[in-house]
Amino acid sequence: MPTSMPKSMPAPGDREGVAELKRLAHEVRNAMNGVAVSLEVARSRAGRGAAPAEVYPFLETASEQLELATRLHKQYTDFATTLATDGEARAARRTPIHDAPEA
């Protein structure tokens, strides 16, 4: 269960950018799975009448994984926005002046 965040994003590019988006999506899914598993264990133990001290660690883990998923999701959306903006800029540079829309 990875808990490290990427230190920097690669420069936006078709293959590299898509690969990074896929990696981030996978990490978000892993973190959300960690939330689901931890909550299910906590629910099961609480349902059997476990002491709060037995349930709390699983709730704490779920909270930590949710925080990780939230940070990763923000990175995903920020990077996707960067890719989209970069793609629009590249498309604008390729558009001949006579084909450019009027302002």
Residue 21 lies in a domain: yes
Residue 92 lies in a domain: no
Residue 87 lies in a domain: no
Could you tell me the two tokens for 9? Answer: 């994003």
Residue 49 lies in a domain: yes
> What's the domain range around 63?
14-82
Residue 40 lies in a domain: yes
- How many domains would you assign to the chain? 1
pLDDT in tens, the chain (103 residues): 454 545 455 454 567 888 888 999 999 999 999 999 999 999 999 999 999 999 999 999 999 999 999 999 999 999 888 887 766 555 555 555 555 455 4
Half-sphere exposure of 28 (CA within 13 A, CB side): 14
